Structure 1
Amino acid sequence: MTRTVPQPLAEAGEGRWSPRLWGLLLVLAGNMLIDALEVSGAVVALPSIGTDLGLPLTSTQWAMTGFAVGFGGLMLFGTRVVALLGRRRVYLVALLGFAAASLVSAFAQEPALLIATRLVKGFCAALTAPTGLAIISTAFPQGRPRSRAVSVYTLFGAGGFTAGLLLSGWLSTYSWRLAFAFPAPVVLLLFAAGLRLIPGEDGPPGGSPAGARHYGVAGATAFTGALLALVYGITALPGHGWTDVRVVGALTAALLLLVLFRSLERAAPAPLLPVRLSRSGALVRSALGAACLNGSYLGLLFVLTYQTQTVAGWSPPVAAAALLPAAVPPALTALASGRLIARFGAPRLVAAGAASAFAGYLLQLRPGWPLDYTGRLLPTLLLVGVGFVLSFAALNVQATSELAPADRAAGSGLYQTAVQLAAVLAVALVAALLAGAGRESGSAAQLAACRPALVLVAALGGIGLLTGLTGLARSGTADRTAVHRA
């Protein structure tokens, strides 16, 4: 297949970037920032959403998990859609969908509509997030220019989480709806610029052979439905018990849909999740480690948001500022992550980062009222922030290190799916465990009732540490074997 060199690359030359190429990078990185902002923005707004719509914690959590279900549940399907329809077309349509869903969510009066818009936004992010990196890989010259572009793209993603906390904390003092509507005009501006700047492609879109048109809609629907049913069953458990038909029915439906997804994948001419990927130990360990890191982190933020705003009565801006120590370090050090990996190696950084985060979670288990910010919350958040600095980029690099070039796109999709699925399940489980805290009277009793949720967060961190240590041991064995053979 012949492919035309994207216009921005043709204008840039080997050492210089044209204004057009700079504009393309700002469009892609700006959208990455908005995707990251969506997660942190929802965290701070959750108490306001619950109060405004009259929802318990087990229902309010859908504002977070809905986005993660759409993102993680449809990531592999989104990768297939991009491969078959082309990057430019899908990216631009996804931007429009994201903007429309942002506006609808801001005016939603019914919880079902709010959840639906969060699912749509998650799917749009599943279409644009991996596609942005793919566009960079073809539009920027290989070597230092491309590495610099990826660094800027990563920096915007890391900075977006921090910006989301601050922006949502400020806007939520007026209305949580402003925090949900804010992305719409920004994304529309990105769309207008993208129309002129995002390069097209020649030949079959995405390099897919003509005639290979298996989208995997049935499989993607079954997988996403299983996640929705599983989350519903988990969050219905505190109020109805194991024997309630709603709980049993939802969990049974989740299991059956997962079995259906597996059957569809086995029969598919081009499965969304190739079985051969599971044979890569580095990919499996990285996916599990990243899932534990992301799931425990978002679970912790969910608990701390409840403790600071609902129990302690802090305002949204104060609560958002209190959470910043966990979000700022990754943003400040994003550009140095490559040098850290080159110097220490991914396995060492993954293990060290997991150990730092786990230590923070253990510290948070200490009881006490009132909330001790400087003695307990702040050290926890700093340790978790250091954990992300050390291990997040290393996990990304390690995930595809053993894969053949042809499998790296699918491997990256599997990795990102695991990261988002952890967010879905961790937040749902934490919300279910916190439901008991809401029934307690008195701030001290409510705070003590948060302990089961914090134990779950620490357990996820412990699994992540064991996974990191396993990878470190395997890398040491491989190094010794290589030396012995030499």
Structure 2
Amino acid sequence: MATLTSPPSAIDGRARLVLVVLCAAQFMVALDFSVLNVALPALGADLGMSHSALQWAITAFALPSGGFLLLSGRLGDLYGRKKLFVSGLALFGAASLLATFAWDPASFLAGRALQGVGAAAIVPTGMSLLTTTFPEGPQRDRALGIFGTLLSLGFTVGMVLGGVLTDTLGWRSTMGLLALFSFLVLPLAPGLLPESRTPDRPRLDVPGAVTVTGGLLSLIYALSTAAERGFEGADVAITLVIGLALLVAFVIVESRSASPLVSLKMLRRRSIALGNLGGLITLSMMTTVVFVLTLYFQETLGLSGLMTGMIFGIQGVMSVVAGSFAPKVIGRLGARRTLVLALVGQGVLTAALLGIGTTSGALLATVAVSLASMFHLAAIIAYGVTATSGVADEEQGLATGLVTTTQQVGLTIGIPLLGVLATTGDVLYDGVRTVLALDAAIVLVAALLLALGLRKRT
């Protein structure tokens, strides 16, 4: 374990450079989740992908990035977090080049899938390196605040860059940007990052790794396929059942394992379990809002991809603002209370989006989604603090594996679960409003559950 010391609330010297590298990688991965959104129509036309198949341009990345997270986090614990982090960066860069120069849908989707595998190595090891570098307290809160800000900012900046790059250089430049980003960060990581691993080197929980990875892959596949053509297909039902069965088997395996991939004792800690639930809700529901508003702006209001990207750029600026003061709010109110209040704010402002119309509503949507993103960013930071507090350094890989799995699964499941409702009806506008209403209701119910569940400290 490597810990860099500095004044109680300050981040300076080498620790600041470590944070820059970790946050740059996190920003790059978050960027990948959204940079293609605005470019999808141009991508489909160039590679001959149907409108319904375009969902797989996103899902091919999200599927492995969510499915392999827990396994990657544990491999980093056992064999070296820096080693796996650097390997993930190299794979991500190479895969981005493949996607940039893809000659047909198969080669493009292969590149996206390999990007996802690289991201699955980068994200949990990066979070573990952060929490073992910065001690629990003000330093870690500040570091997680910056980390969480860049997670949200990367997603929204991706919307802006996607529009600008597609309109000026074409959709391939969005993937080329990710390759460039990766190869800029890669040379810095080996020399700056401290190596860390668990000192006792427990055995890898192979049954747990197989069941949880298979379960997550099956579940995400089922939800993503449902987003493309609904829940009627036999493959959707079969993979959904398989995914749930494997996740149940995973729980049974972990309860009997001497070196579990996920400590059930850890999950019995209310702060960890409910903190991750809050993270899952805020991420999945906000990405769904961004997805349906992208459709609304372009297909209902007729705005260009560039204008749509600029609107989400305002959202990104508001996220940065929120990231600057959210750690202070957490310091004053506590992470648990901040998480609940942030979810309430996100839910109320999502409900306000129901006021959009078929010929006007861009201003209302811009203001509401920008303010909602501020609460959303505060929720991301608060859930990260809540779900990693009180965890020993040797268990940080487990705790941060859960946090990063929550992040990636949250970014993955919202659109398949709710976004499909916006595109399957005859009138897109009606579908968008249905999604927004359900989205707001889910966030507000989650806020109530967390308020009740987090009343007592654990």
TM-score normalised by structure 1 residue count? 0.82
The answer to whether structure 1 residue 411 and structure 2 residue 399 are counterparts is yes
324 and 469 in structure 1: CA distance in 2 versus 1, 3 angstrom threshold: farther
Following superposition, the deviation at residue 419 of structure 1 comes to 3.2
Q: Which amino acid aligns with 2:286?
A: Y
Aligned to 2:368: 380
* Match of residue 437 from structure 2: 455
Q: Give the whole-Å Cα distance in 2 for the aligned partners of 1:411 and 1:142.
A: 13
The amino acid that maps onto 2:96 is S
In structure 1, what is the equivalent of residue 158 of structure 2?
164
Query: More deviation in 106-115 or 315-324?
Result: 106-115
What whole-Å deviation, never above 9, does each CA across 1:280-336 have from its counterpart, x for those lacking one? 222222212221111110111110111122333322211011123433222123232
The answer on whether the counterparts of 2:61 and 2:115 sit within 8 Å (CA) in structure 1 is yes
Task: Report the more deviating stretch, 90-99 or 172-181.
Answer: 172-181
Q: CA deviation at 1:76?
A: 1.1
Which residue pairs with 1:353 in the alignment? Answer: 342
Q: Does 1:129 align with 2:123?
A: yes
Residues 100-249 of structure 1: pairs in structure 2 closer than 5 A? 100-136=94-130, 152-173=146-167, 174-200=169-195, 206-210=197-201, 212-215=203-206, 216-235=208-227, 237-238=229-230, 242=232, 244-249=233-238
CA gap 1:277/1:48 in 2 versus in 1, 3 angstroms: farther
Query: In structure 2, the residue corresponding to 1:40 is in which secondary structure?
Result: coil
Deviations 1:112-154 (A, max 9, x none): 4434433332332232233334434555789877776655545
Match of residue 411 from structure 2: 423
Distance 1:371 1:120, change over 3 A: farther
Matches within 5 A, 1:20-31: 23-31=17-25
The amino acid across from 1:276 in the alignment is: K
Q: Which amino acid aligns with 1:225?
A: L
For 1:219-255, what per-residue CA distance to the aligned partner results, in whole angstroms no more than 9, with x for missing partners? Answer: 34412332243224423543xx63x433433334434
The 5 Å alignment of 1:185-334 reads 185-200=180-195, 206-210=197-201, 212-215=203-206, 216-235=208-227, 237-238=229-230, 242=232, 244-262=233-251, 264-266=253-255, 268-334=257-323
Instruction: Specify the SS of the correspondent of 1:48.
Output: helix
**Distance across 1 between alignment mates of 2:335 and 2:360:** 36
| Residue equivalent to 1:482 | none
**Matching of residue 396 in structure 1 with residue 384 in structure 2:** yes
Distance 1:84 1:40, change over 3 A: same
- From the superposition, tell whether residues 268 and 109 of structure 1 become closer, same or farther in structure 2 (CA, over 3 Å): farther
Q: CA RMSD in A?
A: 3.3
For 1:72, give the aligned amino acid. Answer: G
For residue 484 of structure 1, what is the aligned residue in structure 2? none
The amino acid that maps onto 1:258 is L
State the secondary structure of the residue aligned to 2:33: helix
Choose 316-325 or 67-76, whichever is displaced more.
Answer: 67-76
- TM-score, normalised relative to structure 2: 0.86
Question: What is the rounded CA distance, in whole Å, between the counterparts of 1:72 and 1:390 in structure 2?
Answer: 23
Distance 1:279 1:145, change over 3 A: closer
- Tell me, what secondary structure is at the counterpart of 1:42? coil
- In our comparison, the structure showing a higher alpha carbon Rg is 1
Unaligned stretches of 5+ residues in structure 1: 480-486
Q: Distance in 2 between the 1:153 and 1:415 partners?
A: 13
AA paired with 1:104? Answer: L
CA drift at 1:267:
5.4
Secondary structure in structure 2 of the residue aligned to 1:333: helix
User: 1:397-442, CA deviations, whole angstroms, 9 ceiling, x for partnerless residues?
Assistant: 12233555554432332233233223322111234223324xx3xx
Do the aligned partners of residues 55 and 335 (structure 1) sit closer, same or farther apart at CA in structure 2, a change above 3 Å counting? same
Percent identical among aligned pairs is 26
**Match for residue 428 of structure 2 among 446, 451, 455:** 446
For 2:388 and 2:200, locate their aligned partners in 1 and report how far apart those are by CA, in whole Å.
Answer: 24
Contact 1:47/1:309 (8 A) holds in 2: no
Cα gap change, 1:297 to 1:78, in 2 (>3 Å): same
Q: Which residue of 2 aligns with 1:470?
A: 452
Residue 346 of structure 2 is aligned to residue 364 of structure 1? no
Q: 1:343 and 2:332 equivalent?
A: yes
Shift of 1:179: 0.6
Greater displacement, 150-159 / 42-51: 150-159
Between 271-280 and 209-218, the greater mean CA deviation after superposition: 209-218
Deviation (angstroms), 1:357: 1.3
Contact 1:44 1:316 in 2 (8 A): yes
Identify the match of residue 432 of structure 1 among 415, 420, 433: 420
Aligned-residue offset at 1:79 = 0.9
